[in-house]
Amino acid sequence: MTLYAAYAANLDPREMASRCPHSPLRGTGWLVGWRLTFGGEEFGWNGALATVVEDEKEQVFVSLYDVAPADEPLLDQWEGADIGLYRKIHVRVQTLDGGVTAITYVLDAYEGGLPSARYLGMLADAAEAAGAPDDYTEGLRQRPCRSTGFP
């Protein structure tokens, strides 16, 4: 099994269950020293796409999944790693039980641009479904965004 740290739509356990049906939720944690941001506006549908970048003053809420070998290619495809949109990296995740190493995906594009309002709302809903703290989900909902479009 590969441990995967989800920070965007895959935070939602229902979404991950449909995308990677053999990969159970292990728990949640924080990418300490990372910041959620957006980029690749030219690749998104009416807005920028979620990614994480290193930032020693920030942290990002994540869901941890044990990704089954049969599901890993599906996850790579869903995340666009198979076409070079995102690349897979190893990160350290802080949990209540200590630190663990997991993979996550980062956008292979420049940071910048605004996500669509719909996409940002979807990310906030996913964080809420994963049990993110209220201030984290509220912070997502209050981020600047484009007023229309998807994702």
What domains can be seen in the chain, in order of their start residue? 2-141 (3.10.490.10)
* 8 A C-beta contact, residue 93 and residue 99: yes
The catalytic position among 79, 111, 128, 138 is: 79
Question: CA 148, 46, 89: angle at the middle one, nearest 5?
Answer: 125
pTM of the model: 0.93
Residue type present at position 91: V
Answer yes or no: is 119 a known binding residue: yes
How many whole angstroms separate alpha carbon 115 and alpha carbon 124? 12
Specify whether 79 is catalytic. Answer: yes
12-51 pLDDT tens trace: 999 999 999 999 999 999 999 999 999 998 886 689 999 9
Please check the confidence at residue 147 and state whether its pLDDT lies above 80.
no
